[in-house]
């Protein structure tokens, strides 16, 4: 069997590194064609030494120059490219079969859209891009034959529990509800009155998963679960009132699908992203992921509780944005990205995140989002307004 050609957008991040760890277990199945990152020269250099891709892409010219000279000195023939245009080109190379979309945030939108336009199989981790432009992604995919495979653990769990032969972008036969599980994050038991005192360091400690900083803060506000409700709605064609969230602190059940007859099917496993990544890489086959096996007797107890939407307002903001439609999900996402970045830079406090997003959503929820231009405009306006509000100390 000819190995599948792989391009990883964001190979130096948490998902990117986990993807390479699975690929390393199956050298006969996968050939790495392109690896990309923002500016992490050292990590990308190490990855190029091991996987010897034909191309590496960085966003900053000086970083690209440094990487190229290090690789040339080492006798490695990887060609280093630079910038957004090159990023958009490597995803559509004929030798690339699968594109792992693992850039964080809106920065992943254009390269992922290009991969969809080129009809590739997309292993989608970059939920922000789907939330911004879900309808455009799915319409383009149905035109080009691109397939979207969900890497996000909850959506991968839902995907695994769907009827045989199911493909994303369509409504599954016989399914009545989607139930997303949430760990509850590090502040599940923290009183709302103490939210003002939460520092970036505290918010970056996730109880079950080791991930990039942005998504870790999103888990702490429960915005991550809100974004995932929108992600599930887009991928599986469900309305806001057909998707539930249940807090499950052990993160063993990764999500559930409810069928019309009352059956609920769940996917279980240790909280290790190599499992959904391996599932997507080999789909529809199964391969080893390297993850530790789940022992139910060791876990012993699985518990569930409803989310506290009064304490974690971001979750209800996301439901509202999904319900409002148009550019509201794009605006929610953009405002959240700016707010989280500012919180990490200690320019605003944790408890301000939802209130700022709510104000921005109220201003721009009604913008249209029918084309890429309209989506990018909504994203830009929401970012500027959020930034202004933070500067003004709102």
183 annotated among ligand-binding-site residues: yes
Residue 125 binding target from ligand NAD, Mg ion, none, CB below 5 to 8 Å by type: ligand NAD
Please indicate if the annotation marks 251 as binding a ligand.
no
How many angstroms separate the CA atoms of 145 and 19, rounded? 24
- Residue 212 interaction partner, one of ligand NAD, Mg ion, none, beta carbon < 5-8 Å per kind: ligand NAD
Contacting residue, 128, 231, 337, 379, with ligand NAD by CB under 6 A: 128
- Per rule CB under 5 A, is residue 152 in the interface with Mg ion? yes
Nearest-angstrom CA–CA distance, 108 and 46: 23
Structure tokens at 220: 């702490």
Selection from 303, 318, 317 nearest residue 181 by Cα: 303
Residue 102 interface partner, choices ligand NAD, Mg ion, none, CB cut-off 5-8 Å depending on type: ligand NAD
Question: For the sheet containing 79-82, what is the strand order?
Answer: 79-82, 55-58, 30-36, 4-9, 98-101, 121-124, 147-150
- In the complex, what is the shortest distance from the CB of residue 173 to ligand NAD, in angstroms, rounded to a whole number? 27
CA distance 55 to 333: 31
Stretch that binds ligand NAD, among 88-96, 210-218, 242-250, 299-307 (CB under 6 A): 210-218
Q: Which of 40, 49, 55 is nearest to 8 (CA)?
A: 55
212 is in an annotated binding site: yes
For ligand NAD, which is the closer residue by CB, 67 or 211?
211
The DSSP-derived string for 307-322 is: --TTT-HHHHHHHHHH
Q: In the complex, what is the shortest distance from the CB of residue 198 to ligand NAD, in angstroms, rounded to a whole number?
A: 20
Give CA–CA dist 355/87, Å, rounded.
Answer: 35
Please say whether the beta carbons of 161 and 265 come within 8 A: yes
Could you say whether residue 12 binds ligand NAD (CB under 6 A)?
yes
DSSP string, 250-291: T--EEEEEEETTS-EEEEE--S-THHHHHHHHHTTS-----P
Based on CB atoms, which residue is closest to Mg ion, 86 or 128?
128
Q: How far is the CB of 161 from Mg ion (least distance, A)?
A: 15
Residue of 4, 6, 7, 10 that binds ligand NAD (CB under 6 A): 10
Q: Which two tokens stand for residue 304?
A: 């569930």
Which of 102, 123, 222, 332 is the binder for ligand NAD (CB under 6 A)? 102
Q: How far apart are CA 161 and CA 153, in angstroms?
A: 12
Cβ distance to Mg ion smaller for residue 111 or 226: 226
Q: How far is the CB of 165 from ligand NAD (least distance, A)?
A: 25
Stretch that binds Mg ion, among 20-28, 145-153, 196-204, 250-258 (CB under 5 A): 145-153
- The verdict on 38 binding ligand NAD (CB under 6 A) reads yes
Coil, strand, or helix at residue 360? helix
DSSP H/E element including 32:
strand 30-36
Least CB distance from residue 186 to Mg ion, whole Å? 15
User: Could you say which residues in the range 106-125 bind ligand NAD, by CB under 6 A?
Assistant: 107, 125
The count of chain residues that interact with ligand NAD, using the rule CB under 6 A, is 25
Q: Give, in order, the Cα–Cα distances in Å from 277 to each of 138, 290, 294, 339, 369.
A: 21, 11, 17, 29, 30
By CB atoms closer than 10 A (0-12, 13-18, 19+), residue 96 is buried
128 binds, options Mg ion, ligand NAD, none, Cβ within 5 to 8 A by partner type: ligand NAD
Q: Known binder of ligand: residue 14?
A: yes
Give bridge partners of residue 121 from the DSSP assignment. Answer: 98, 147
The residue from 126, 147, 181, 386 that contacts ligand NAD (CB under 6 A) is 126
Q: Closer to ligand NAD at the Cβ: 7 or 392?
A: 7
Contact positions with ligand NAD (CB under 6 A) in 248-307: 273
The crossing angle, in degrees rounded to 10, of helices 328-344 and 127-144 is 140
Beta bridge partners of 245: 180
Which positions lie near ligand NAD, rule CB under 6 A?
10-16, 37-38, 40, 59, 102-104, 107, 125-128, 152, 209, 211-212, 215, 273
Which positions lie near Mg ion, rule CB under 5 A?
152-154
Binding-site residue ranges for Mn(2+): 152, 154, 228
Binding-site residue ranges for 1-deoxy-D-xylulose 5-phosphate: 127, 153-154, 183, 206, 224-225, 228
């Amino acid at each position: 069997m000819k190995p599948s050609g792989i391009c990883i957008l964001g190979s130096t991040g948490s998902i990117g590194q986990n993807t390479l760890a699975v690929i390393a277990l199956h050298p006969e199945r996968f050939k790495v064609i392109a690896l990309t990152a923002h500016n992490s020269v050292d990590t990308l250099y190490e990855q190029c030494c091991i996987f010897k891709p034909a191309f590496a892409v960085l966003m900053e010219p000086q970083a690209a120059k440094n990487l190229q000279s290090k690789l040339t000195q080492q006798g490695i023939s990887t060609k280093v490219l630079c910038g957004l245009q090159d990023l958009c080109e490597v995803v559509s190379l004929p030798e690339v079969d699968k594109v792992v979309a693992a850039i964080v945030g809106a920065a992943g939108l254009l390269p992922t859209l290009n991969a969809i336009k080129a009809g590739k199989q997309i292993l989608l981790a970059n939920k922000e891009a789907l939330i911004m432009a879900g309808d455009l992604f799915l319409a383009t995919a149905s035109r080009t034959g691109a397939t979207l495979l969900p890497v996000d653990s909850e959506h991968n769990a839902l995907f695994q529990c769907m009827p045989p032969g199911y493909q994303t972008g369509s409504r599954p036969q016989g399914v009545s509800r989607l139930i997303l599980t949430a760990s509850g994050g590090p502040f599940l038991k923290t009183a709302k009155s103490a939210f003002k005192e939460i520092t970036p360091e505290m918010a970056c400690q996730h109880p079950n998963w080791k991930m990039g900083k942005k998504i870790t803060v999103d888990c702490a506000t429960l915005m991550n679960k809100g974004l995932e409700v929108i992600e599930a709605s887009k991928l599986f064609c469900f309305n806001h009132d057909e998707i539930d969230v249940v807090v499950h602190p052990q993160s063993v059940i990764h999500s559930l699908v409810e069928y019309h007859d009352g059956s609920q099917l769940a996917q279980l496993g240790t909280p290790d992203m190599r499992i959904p990544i391996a599932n997507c890489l080999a789909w529809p086959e199964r391969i080893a992921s390297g993850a530790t096996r789940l022992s139910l007797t060791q876990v012993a107890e699985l518990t569930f509780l409803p989310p506290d939407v009064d304490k974690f307002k971001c979750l209800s903001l996301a439901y509202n944005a999904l319900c409002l439609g148009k550019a509201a999900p794009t605006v929610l996402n953009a405002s959240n990205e700016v707010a989280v970045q500012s919180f990490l830079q200690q320019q605003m406090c944790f408890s301000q995140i939802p209130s700022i997003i709510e104000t921005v959503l109220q201003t721009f929820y009604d913008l249209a989002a029918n084309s890429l231009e309209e989506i990018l405009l909504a994203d830009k306006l929401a970012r500027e307004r959020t930034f202004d509000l933070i500067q003004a100390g709102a």
